Chain A
Amino acid sequence: MNLSFSEEDLSFQNEVRSFIADNYPADIKNKMDNGIPLSKEDILTWQRILSKKGWFAVNWPEEYGGTGWTVTQKHIFQNELASANTPTLVPFGVSMCGPVIYSFGTQEQKDKFLPGIINNDVWWCQGYSEPGSGSDLASLKTKAVKDGDHYIVNGTKTWTTMAQHADWIFCLVRTETTDIKQQGISFLLIDMKTPGVEVKPIITIDGSHEVNMVYLDNVKVPVENLIGEEGAGWNIAKFLLAHERTGIGGIPALKREIRRLREITSELPLGEGFLKDDELFMDKLNKLEIDLLAAEYSELRTLASMSKGGHPGPESSILKIKGTDLQQGLSDLFVEAIGYYAHPFMSEEDLASNEGRIGPDFAANVMPHYLNYRKVSIYGGSNEIQRNVIAKAVLGI
């Protein structure tokens, strides 16, 4: 057992750190540090900077453009990105659809789709949930009927994150109705420009437009856009969800945020002193920090065992539950920290304007963040579903 960084690891850490320092655009950094929403172009700019360096699809096999890094190097990289408060990478292409395509796709499909993902030419979104199929994902009803060399797709997808920016959507569709609902599901790639695809925004309680409804009305999709065999989509869906869940814990970002909250406790006045003098508050902060430390090492254990044998398994469900608990817990502590100044609502326009904030600078995003983060225990398979997964796969019930 050896958990310390080697000389090579430390020099790698320096390399990553100086790369970020030299290449992280100042205007994007300014937006990130001040909680101003990023544009699509901002996100793509940063992702392309990483692509160009070969540091975008870090987890992919080397033959498809991955890094071949060790677990420790990946850990260092994620921590450095988060520590510098760089934009979170949009996962739908690089962490979700990409691994599906290189694991289940034909050579032709790999050649067609993987470069677009790794070079950030194509923005992907995820068509999984439907109005009638949330936690019971396998009950999905979007139908794909074969018609010559095309499928005709009809149905509605929901909670589609950033669909307003997307060029393509990967969908779970029903190609056959069977007694066992997990059968007859297929994994289909759809060009969002195809006639019959319509995106409508869903505004969430924090006032933001992040998720959408995607309506599919007689959408004509070439059969060569089917990944894997027809009817074998459920296995692909599960594979993808396990991939989705590992990063979902967001541990590196949590480490940065808790550090920030600790700084804030020394900045926020309280009576004649500062918030840090409030023992009850600091207790909660310290408890959360210990919990985070445990989650961090749980993630490292999972990564270390993954590095020895393939894909993430049910352990990723544990990381999802712990990580999202911590994300919500920390977002709540931020709200507690600033008291009344959590209440003023600032629109995206207010945030971007030069008029100045109400209350402390960081305050404007605190409540929206808390509200927005109610989603984390719901998406990616609700935490109740994760518990079902663990009960079945780990406890063997």
Chain B
Amino acid sequence: MDFSLSEEQQLLKDSITQFVDKDYLFDVRQKNIKSELGYSSDFWKTFADLGWLGMPFSEADGGYDGGPIDLMVIMESLGRGLVVEPYIPNVVLAGGLISRLGNEEQKTNFLPKIISGEIQMSLAFAEPQSRFNLSDVITTAKKDGENYILDGYKAVVMNGPSSDTLIVVARTSGTQLDEKGLSLFLVDPSAKGVSLRNYSNVDGSKASEVTLEGVEVSTSSLLGDEGNIYSVLEEVIDLATLAISAEAVGIMEKMNEITLEYTKTREQFGETLSSFQALQHRMVDTFMAYEQTKSLLLMCAAKLTDKADDATKAVSALKYQVGIAAKQVGEESVQLHGGMGVTDETNIGHFFKRLTTIRAIFGNTDYHLKRYSAL
């Protein structure tokens, strides 16, 4: 039983931590999220140069053969820096699907460009009615000779505005909730019939509502077997759930540090806030909430690495716990900051906003508790 990181993983962690502490300054981030792109393409280039974008891919695909633990290390460290650059949409979701399902041509077309940071991609999976149910898909893809015709609507597509290629989940057969009959398509957002309504999320990230009206794509745009991709989609979303949970754990660790530091310096009634026992105990509770979540994160990363039978169940246990702890740590951090916690100029509120959106991404506590119970 060994919880320690390997030498390589420790180096990876140190390198991201150093980047976050030295270069990813809060002011710079705030300026970047207000830009049209919504993040820094220079930073993205840095991620590529330092090898972070290639981590989960096999050596054959041009990557570094990293596993779930490496992904956890990356996302936890990025979380501490409140990094907004779209790692999960590109590397974990799009990259994860293409490396698992793509034919040689598709892999050659996309993977090197994801790894070098030259291309931006998104996975359009959710729909207004689906909430977190991956198999709830109304969007259709109908075979028409050598083409498919796509019709439907995709909701809150992460990284949509920057996307050079969308991966769209559409139904080629079956009824609305069937797992069978779902297919994946590589879609050019500038193709005829595709329209994007782009916007910012409260956490500073960008997203799109995507409408598909009679969009024609060739059969070569089909990613994976027609009607038979659900288990891989679920596997990739599980990995992304680990990734975003790791981000949340990094955020919570940082928020606890910031809040503790604040209460040690802020004085009221002639004493520092940290001298009040009522506040001390609440900070102990948020610290424990973080620790509990970190424990499940490590467990989950290990189970995914071992491909354990109960790995999927572990993912839902983790995301449930993330949801519970994120609410507690997030809300308490703001409360302990008093009025400063609700101002735009203080960093804690921005950590809070990202942590709050993470509660719902890839499934909220109710969804994951139900999934855990059913597994």
Residues of A near any B CB (own CB < 8 A): 1-4, 70-72, 75, 282-283, 286-287, 290-291, 293-298, 300-301, 303-305, 318, 321-322, 384, 387-388, 390-391, 394-397
Chain A residues, Cβ within 8 Å of B275: 397
Interface residues of chain B, those whose CB is within 8 Å of chain A, are 1-6, 9, 69, 260, 264, 274-275, 277, 280-281, 283-285, 287-288, 291-293, 295-296, 298-299, 301-303, 305-306, 308, 317, 320-321, 369, 372-373
- Say yes or no: B291 contacts A298, CB within 8 Å: yes
B3 pairs with A3, CB closer than 8 A: yes
Pairs A-B, 10 closest by C-beta atoms? A297-B295, A3-B302, A294-B292, A391-B280, A72-B1, A298-B295, A387-B284, A387-B281, A290-B317, A390-B284
Give the tally of cross-chain contacts (CB within 8 A). 111
In the assembly, what is the distance between CA of A301 and CA of B284, in Å?
18
CA distance A214 to B2 in the complex (A): 45
A3 and B372 contacting across the interface, CB-CB below 8 Å: no
Q: Check A387–B4 contact: CB distance below 8 A.
A: no
**A-side contacts of B260, CB under 8 Å:** 395-397
Looking at chain B's contact residues, the main secondary structure is helix
How many Å lie between the Cα of A3 and that of B317 in the bound state? 17
**CB <8 Å contact, B291 and A304:** no
How near does chain A come to B257, taking the closest CB pair, in angstroms? 10
Contact indicator A294/B296 (Cβ below 8 Å): yes
Complex Cα spacing A258 to B260, Å = 36
Please, could you name 20 A-B residue pairs with CB atoms under 8 Å apart, sorted by A?
A: A2-B302, A3-B299, A4-B306, A72-B1, A75-B1, A290-B320, A291-B292, A294-B295, A295-B295, A296-B295, A298-B295, A303-B1, A304-B4, A318-B288, A322-B288, A384-B281, A390-B288, A391-B281, A395-B260, A396-B260
The CA-CA distance from A229 to B206 in the complex, in Å, is 66
Q: Are A70 and B317 in contact (CB under 8 A)?
A: no
* B320:A388 contact, CB within 8 angstroms: no
Q: Tell me if B3 and A304 are in contact (CB < 8 A).
A: yes
Nearest Cβ distance between residue A302 and chain B, in whole angstroms? 10
- Within the assembled complex, what's the spacing in Å between the Cα atoms of A75 and B373? 26
Q: Is the CB of B1 within 8 A of A395?
A: no
Docked pose: A356 CA to B249 CA in angstroms: 52
Q: Inside 8 A of A384's CB, which chain B residues have their CB?
A: 281
Query: Please, how many angstroms separate the alpha-carbon atoms of A284 and B274 in the complex?
Result: 34
Distance (whole angstroms) from the CB of A89 to the closest CB of chain B:
22
Nearest-neighbour CB distance to chain A for B371, whole angstroms, equals 10
Report whether B280 and A293 are in contact in the complex, using a CB–CB cutoff of 8 Å.
Answer: no
B296 and A293 contacting across the interface, CB-CB below 8 Å: yes
Cα A234 to Cα B287 with chains together (Å): 27
Partner of B373, one of A286, A295, A318: A286
B292 & A298 in contact (Cβ 8 Å cutoff)? yes
Pick from B264, B288, B295: contact of A321, CB under 8 Å: B288
- Please name all residues of chain B whose beta carbon is closer than 8 Å to the beta carbon of A298 when the two chains form the complex: 291-292, 295
Contacts of B301 in A (CB 8 A): 1
* Shortest Cβ distance from residue B168 to the other chain A in the assembled complex, whole angstroms: 34
Known contacts A2-B302, A287-B369, A295-B292; is A388 also within 8 Å of B5 by CB? Answer: no
**How long is the Cα–Cα vector from A297 to B1 in the complex, in angstroms?**
11
Chain B, residue nearest A397 (CB): B274
- Contact across chains for B372 and A1 when beta carbons are under 8 A apart: no
The chain B residue with its CB closest to the CB of A2 is: B2
| B298 lies within 8 A of A3 (CB) | yes
Cα(A296)–Cα(B296), bound, Å = 9
